[in-house]
Amino acid sequence: MASRCILQIALLLSFTTSLSLSYDLLQLQQQQRSSNSACLKLLRQVKGKPEHCQQDRMDFKFPEEIKQPRPFQKEMAALVIQEMLQNIFVIIRKEFSTTVWNKTIVDDLLDKLHQQMDRLKSTILQERPEDTNMTTLRLKSYYWRISRYLTARENSICAWTVVQAELISKFPIINSLTDYFQD
């Protein structure tokens, strides 16, 4: 009798937890998309003109396994998103120049990126995997090349214009990975 009650309570709790988690994931998904749209709008406000900076173009070699669509688990997708947002945050905070960016715009952008990273940590990434896989390592290398490029070009307008285009072009990948939250 008691075991039956305990079993029913456990089932009810698990059902409720899954429902709440599904609701949280759906909400997280919507928040992620909204944050991405806001970041894109801010990134487009770089003062440079891409058509004038063709001589500064650079192939930073984004990891193909992330660019090409393939099934991701929810935790892995969140981990990749987290890695990307974190590196973007670091690059902009370290390398931004007032000649290229408006400081208000930069602060707003950094704030949105931080909020999104906190949501991921509080939901899916509560228990982050101990092993860092190859995907995240390749991501780290990719963003390190971008940072080194900006330093070498002394944060010129054209360098930031090239980086701007590179960062903007990778936000749709973040949106695609967000779809794996509801697996």
Partner 1 sequence: MMLSSHRAWAIRLLTLCLVVYVSLALDSPRISPDDPGEHCNFKVTFRKYRLILLWELKNHSIVPTHYAFEYTIMSKPEGMKIVKNCTNITSSFCDLTDVWQDMHEMYIPLVKAYRGTALLVQCAGSIMTTNLAIEPPDFEVVGSADHISVTVSFPSLAPMVYKEDLRDHASLVIEEHLENNVKRHEPPINGSFIGNFSYVLNDLIPNTNYCVSVYFESIRFTPTVKAPLKCILYQPGQESVAVAISIVYALRQSGYVSLHTNFPKALIFKNFVPWTVPDLPLLEDVNTVEVCYINRKKKVWDYNYDDESDSENEASPRTSEGGYTMHGLTSRLLSQIPTSSATSQASHPEDSADEESEEPEEETQPQPQPWLPAALGPSPGQRECTSESCERTGGLPQDLSFGDNDSNSTEGSGGKITFNVNLSSVFLRVLHDDPEDSEEASLVLTPPEETVNLEESSQETESSLLVAGGEKLQVLFPSLPPKCLWTGDDLSDESDTGSSDVDDVRDGYIMR
Binding interface with partner 1 (CB under 8 A): 33, 37, 40, 44, 49-52, 54, 57-59, 67, 162, 165-166, 168-170, 172-173, 175
Contact (Cβ atoms closer than 8 angstroms) between residue 160 and residue 54 = no
Q: From CA 152, how far away is CA 177, in angstroms rounded?
A: 32
- Which are the contacts of 172, defined by CB distance < 8 A and separation ≥ 6? none
Picking from 4, 147, 22, 46, the residue whose alpha carbon sits closest to that of residue 88 is 147
Cβ closer to partner 1: 58 or 110?
58
Q: Closest approach of Cβ 118 to partner 1, in Å?
A: 23
Those residues whose C-beta lies under 8 Å from the C-beta of residue 47, and which sit 6 or more positions away, are: 99, 100, 101, 157
Q: Which is nearer to partner 1, 145 or 170 (CB)?
A: 170
Q: Which is nearer to partner 1, 20 or 169 (CB)?
A: 169
CB of 165 to partner 1, least distance (A): 4
State which residue, 47 or 52, has the beta carbon closest to partner 1. Answer: 52
Instruction: Report the nearest approach of partner 1 to the CB of residue 16 (Å).
Output: 29
How far, rounded to the nearest angstrom, does the alpha carbon of residue 49 sit from its chain's CA centroid? 25
